[in-house]
Amino acid sequence: PWLSPPPPLAALVRLEPHVSCAPLQRDVLAILGGEHAVWSVTVADPVGRLLADVNGRVPRIPASNQKLISTALAVDRLGVNHRLKTSLWRLPNGTLRLEGEGDPGFGPQQVTRMATALSGHGVSTGTVSMEFEELGPGNWWPADWHSADRNWDYGAPVTRLAVSANSSGDYAVYDPPKRLAGIWSQVLGRQGVGFAWAEVPADSPNPQGSQLIHEELSRPLQSLATRANTESHNNTAEVLLRVGSGSWNLSHASRITLQWLKEKNLPVDGVAIADGSGLSRSNRSTTRLYTSLLLTMQHHAHGGNWYRTMAVANRTGTLERFSSSPSLTGKFVGKTGTIRGVKALSGRMDTPHGYRFFSLLANGSAAPRSRMADILEAVLRHSSCPRVF
């Protein structure tokens, strides 16, 4: 289902190796002060000029900045109009089979439409037998997600067939197939039809002669990527990593994604991809990678769409209350990241002298948000910085 050919880059922009804005570099170092060792900062302009860089090659835990990789991968390989499918088939023996691609918006409304389609195909009495094509429970969570996180909506299991992204309010749904079966039973019961179900392995081939009864489509990938980046929705980002890579085996998906970064000529030394959302503490990335990715997507055919999936400073999503400074309001779009001991922010700033691309990662900072705001104020202040090195 990949785009063929993939969206071309208008230009191949790489970061220059040396810092070329001494005033900004000095200000960044002064802001970091004694915390210099626990921070990484990279700032660049649209042609790849490295305006500031502190520990830019040091791998750190990126938290939800990982979502920038997952969403860029999916946008690049599938396009912003791609939709995920949930398909209902009738097999030659009369059994029904439900297949999915992890649509986080799938829910009771879609089940009701599928049930209506069944009645249009002569299923109006008796008992319906249905197979759910699903991953085994051992593949529902990345291995190192903490057990406590798995109880909450942000740590919900990642499955091919999900109802409301496998969450219920603030809580995760621990047995997604059972929940889905309950909804089917309820919907069909209102029509006077019984329901029996079983699970079959994901990607089980449909027998020859199987008939497609009904197909539900997700919202466009543009919308899914917006939910992942603006709202920092973990389940959606995990799905995008899997569909973008073409594999629901997380180890395979991670290797494919790392190879994709290499093919884009992005700096991947020390980079480790353990999940698609950043909840894993085994992820490692660098600010040079994120800044390079931001530059690459700036010149991508779908780059404008991708940037519109991000939160706006002091206005939307996870950046709605970023800073009390009015000078930053609306001035940048970006992706935040927060897990215990980790704070991250990467994005694109609109300055009087053009865009500035930045990535800020702190692993162990005492006051990361105020320092991030101060650094971005400095980027604005030095946006006309001349080449002095």
Give, to the nearest 10 degrees, the angle between helix 176-189 and helix 108-120: 50
What is the Cα–Cα distance from 139 to 211, expressed in whole angstroms? 29
> What pTM was computed for the model?
0.95
Neighbours of 196 (CB within 10 A): 12
Answer with the residue of higher pLDDT: 385 or 245.
245
Tokens of 98: 């439900």
Q: Tell me 153's DSSP state.
A: G
Q: Are 307 and 230 in contact (CB under 8 A)?
A: no
Q: For 46-63, what is each residue's pLDDT tens digit?
A: 999 999 999 999 999 999
Q: For 126-161, what is each residue's pLDDT tens digit?
A: 899 999 999 999 999 999 999 999 999 999 999 999
What is the Cα–Cα distance from 236 to 218, expressed in whole angstroms? 12
What is the Cα–Cα distance from 236 to 221, expressed in whole angstroms? 10
Neighbours of 93 (CB within 10 A): 9
Q: Which of 129, 113, 132, 121 is nearest to 193 (CA)?
A: 129
Residue 9 has pLDDT above 50, yes or no: no
Tokens of 63: 């938290």
Map out the domains of the chain as residue ranges. 22-81+223-381, 85-218
Contacts of 127 (CB under 8 A, 6+ apart): 193, 194, 195, 196
Class of domain 22-81+223-381: alpha beta
Average the pLDDT over 344-359 and give the result.
Answer: 98
Class of domain 85-218: alpha beta
